[in-house]
Structure 1
């Protein structure tokens, strides 16, 4: 028996009466270690994926992933890793765990139509339980916290979160007065200019559930069903276009072709002509988080600053410079 390889809290989360027959390491990150766990119960073998986290906020991270995947599975029962349990280790309270059913996934990039269909289903069917933007627990992008207190406007939620991401990154890489100067003007001018029109002038957007960290490593193909499976989520109810932000960056395998196919299924929010600038704005979050997560990507802080400066030059007057689109502008796809 291999039961002594697993903490008592993990054993309690597995099927009652099961016998552990194999435990093997299965993937790592700088904030967690993954394992494949095989058990036998009533003569049948079952497999699970176990993640053990050891960062400072490991318990909150386990809860956030559990609730995120639970929410995804509600709307995408065939396309989400379904969570089984989470908790803190009894033998070592400095670590927490998260368990889901094991799937044999292949590291194959979902084609644009495959991915767009899954995201369209998620964004079209999900409904915020409060009608607001946010989520019922804090989630984590890597180990960067996502502050999910409910907000009435998308501008409020996104502004708060980008500020939080910047503070988090600077807590790791150190302060940057010049970056802060540019960022403050950006928050005063560009964010209102790009996000406020989404919910003014008779326009509105519905908060929908987003995975929050869609890149090729978190959306792989099930070897048995050939379906796209989403995992490692940091969900919230957000503007649906937030989901596309990582597809802008060349370091990921999801590309502009994936964005194009998604836009054919769900047209850009109005004002549609702001779509690319909103996408650039949303991409800043992933870049600033990556600058904090990975030393070799610390230069992304300066890339974010350059994008802020570019958008400031394009929208120097902020919301005062916004002009209502022509009635015949349409929805370009």
Structure 2
């Protein structure tokens, strides 16, 4: 999620390893050398810093909250799943380690990421990612018959572990039906959090109406699970080694259109990306309404992260969808 869009959150923090983490990281990375490169990254949720090791440069993300291991394990699993499709470049995840005093860290391959310029190629590769499991479900994987390893089709919606969009954990319990999965494990979960934190009566009443209308937005289409990045705003994409790269996923298997929602909320991708994407995966009937429905999740998620500055957009989308 776009940490830089936080409205009133101060993100200026000094990046550094937690006390006692140097020895733990050296052991986990099998290195005698762990020297800061001077590169700092991160945002409102995690700190990040580059380090030289015996095997090359790594990027270490750290967080001192008790839920950090769960968050980083989800990111690790998402990066690995995307990497294993061989469709789009991601940083290689290396290891998650605990801080004995609380929190955790994730070590990744260091990649020199530039601003996104390969817009068309990103659209093509994102479509390839989304089609990867669809093709496996459709055709199977005869190349791996009789072998113990290899990609297997995923025929349900969800993921094998918790992933986080921002710092909020996403429920990824496997589900046979996309409408049920998205309604319960994405929208309803966010609105329950808003009810707990804000007791917003208007949001509650709109949601009571909207949840019964959601199946209408999916009439006439068939949905096969696609592996999704899950949080593909422009700050989570760029160029590296002259090709596109994506990172910081909140991965799960879902409807391919879901990934396009946040891409349209904060800009940065250019028309060429979506044109190339839709050349490979044409828009289905009802796309525009579902696009708003998927954007609703992200506005609600921002409301839960950053406060009522995102309330108006959330309420307006629910009202608009109820008029369809």
* Shorter-chain TM-score range: 0.7 to 0.9
**What is the correspondence of 1:86-125 to structure 2 with a 5 Å cutoff?**
86-90=96-100, 92=101, 94-106=102-114, 108-125=115-132
Gaps of at least 5 residues in structure 1 are 199-203, 315-333
Instruction: Output the CA distance in 1 between the equivalents of 2:112 and 2:228.
Output: 24
C-alpha distance in 1 between matches for 2:220 and 2:236: 32
Identify the residue that residue 233 of structure 2 maps to in structure 1: 215
1:195 Cα deviation (Å)?
2.8
SS of the equivalent of 2:54 reads strand
* From 212, 220, 244, the counterpart of 2:260: 244
Tell me the secondary structure at the aligned position of residue 95 of structure 2.
strand
Please say which of residues 29-38 and 251-260 is displaced more in the overlay: 251-260
Question: In structure 1, how many angstroms separate the alpha carbons of the residues matched to 2:120 and 2:316?
Answer: 32
Measure the CA separation in 1 of the matches of 2:127 and 2:321: 29
Instruction: State the aligned residue count.
Output: 290
Q: 1:113 to 1:246 in 2, by over 3 A?
A: same
Report the alpha carbon displacement of residue 111 of structure 1 after superposing the two structures with TM. Answer: 4.2
**Does the CA contact (< 8 Å) of 2:121 and 2:276 recur in 1?**
no
**Aligned partners of 1:135 and 1:207: how far apart in 2?**
11
> Conserved in 2, the CA contact under 8 Å of 1:55 and 1:143?
no
Deviation at 1:196, TM superposition (A): 5.1
Scaled by the length of structure 1, what TM-score is found? 0.81
Name which one, 1 or 2, has greater alpha-carbon Rg: 1
Deviation string for 1:76-97 (max 9, x for gaps)? 376111100112113x2x2111
Find the counterpart in structure 1 of residue 187 from structure 2: 162
> What secondary structure, in the 3-state scheme, does the structure 2 residue paired with 1:262 have?
helix
The residue aligned with 1:81 is 91
Conserved 8 A contact 1:183-1:305: no
Q: Give the Cα–Cα distance (whole angstroms) in 2 for the partners of residues 274 and 208 of structure 1.
A: 19
Q: Structure 1 residues 13, 231: closer, same or farther in 2, change over 3 A?
A: same
The runs of 5 or more residues in structure 2 that have no matched partner are 1-16, 137-151
Q: Which TM-score applies when normalising by structure 2?
A: 0.83
SS at match of 1:7: helix
3-state DSSP of counterpart to 1:205: coil
Q: Please tell me whether the aligned partners of residues 41 and 48 of structure 2 are also in contact (alpha carbons under 8 angstroms).
A: yes
Q: Pick closer, same or farther for the CA change 1:117–1:77 going to 2, 3 Å.
A: closer
Q: Deviations over 1:15-61 (max 9, x none)?
A: x24322335451232221001011235xxxx1001000233421110
Aligned-residue CA RMSD in angstroms? 2.3
**Counterparts in 2 of 1:227 and 1:111: CA distance versus 1, 3 Å:** closer
Q: Please say which of residues 253-262 and 278-287 is displaced more in the overlay.
A: 253-262
Partner of 2:59: 49
Distance between the aligned counterparts of 1:196 and 1:158, measured in 2? 15
Note closer, same or farther for the CA distance 1:77–1:257 as it changes in structure 2 (3 Å cut): closer
